[in-house]
Amino acid sequence: MAADLLATILASPKVIAELGKISLKCLDIIAKRLAENQSALATLLQKSDESLLREFFAGFQALGDAISSSVPASRERLLTLAEGNLYRTSPLNPKLTIGGKSNSYWMALSHYGLAVVCTLRGDELLAAKHTLRIIEADPRLGRTQLVPELFHVGFEPACLAIYQWKEAETQKLKEKTFSGDVAASRLSAGGIGVLGAGGLLATVILSGGRVPVNTAAKSLSDKVGKDWNQATPEYFREIALGELQREFEHRLDEQCRQLASRAIAQIR
């Protein structure tokens, strides 16, 4: 599977060609974000990791200038600058964060930039390696924003079992009545109502008498009514579907990361 994936990347002119187009989009997004958050960036650059962030942004700025340059010597000088800066932000500890973003995010963007550098130089093999490292570093960012074309062509077919699993689980949840959850929740809400007098007295006492009896009674009644009305099959189904979506995304990420790692191992 890994060898097939690598072959797909190297043999697909569409995938390689898309890198240049995506790079322009990525640079536009970064430029807009910098313009909108100048004060936030200034704060980030005052921290201990300021040199790393400066190198990262300088690397992408050089890459953007290289893309628009029509002078070969100037373009190569800018590509060399971008390459050096982005290499320094590619091998980070993925468990840590910089500037409120996970290091995986910065690593994926760095490899994205390096893939573009290699593409502009015509080194498709190394471009493919960096492209795979985008997915390896941050699968979700890679498949949803940076290289979705690569995901659809090379990774999605290998994730068919995960899609089938999600479809089957979704159908189960659509058919589930959630009667147990509804009953338990309404029993709990009813319990509050049954304890009305005690709960009312406790509310007044704990407030030091600051909460009038009629106000406390209304608050208790509102809570019982809200909890009771909220306990519906649709409510619990929505929660379950949200948990299923998170698990689906996690499984998809892990599958893509493993595939990317195995494919990278095939590159010599």
Burial class (CB in 10 A: 0-12, 13-18, 19+), 247: middle
What is the structure's pLDDT at 179?
Answer: 84
Question: Are 182 and 245 a contacting pair, CB within 8 Å?
Answer: no
What was the pLDDT predicted at 39?
A: 53
Cα 251 from Cα 163, distance rounded (Å) = 10
Q: Which residue has the tokens 């340059």?
A: 69
Say what the pLDDT of residue 12 is: 53
CA–CA distance, 136 with 174 (Å, rounded to integer): 34
In this prediction, residue 150 carries a pLDDT of 80
Cα dihedral sign, 120-126-128-129:
negative
Tokens 């040199």 identify what position?
51
pLDDT of residue 124: 76
Residue 69's pLDDT is 84
Reading the chain (268 residues) residue by residue, the pLDDT tens digits are: 444 554 555 455 555 455 445 444 555 554 454 455 445 545 555 554 557 777 888 888 888 888 778 899 999 999 999 999 999 888 888 888 877 788 898 899 889 889 888 888 888 778 888 888 999 999 999 998 888 878 887 888 889 999 999 999 999 999 998 888 778 776 765 554 443 444 434 444 444 544 444 444 444 445 444 565 677 888 889 999 999 999 999 999 999 999 888 888 877 6
Half-sphere exposure of 151 (CA within 13 A, CB side): 20
CB atoms within 10 A of CB 215: 13
Instruction: State the pLDDT at residue 23.
Output: 47
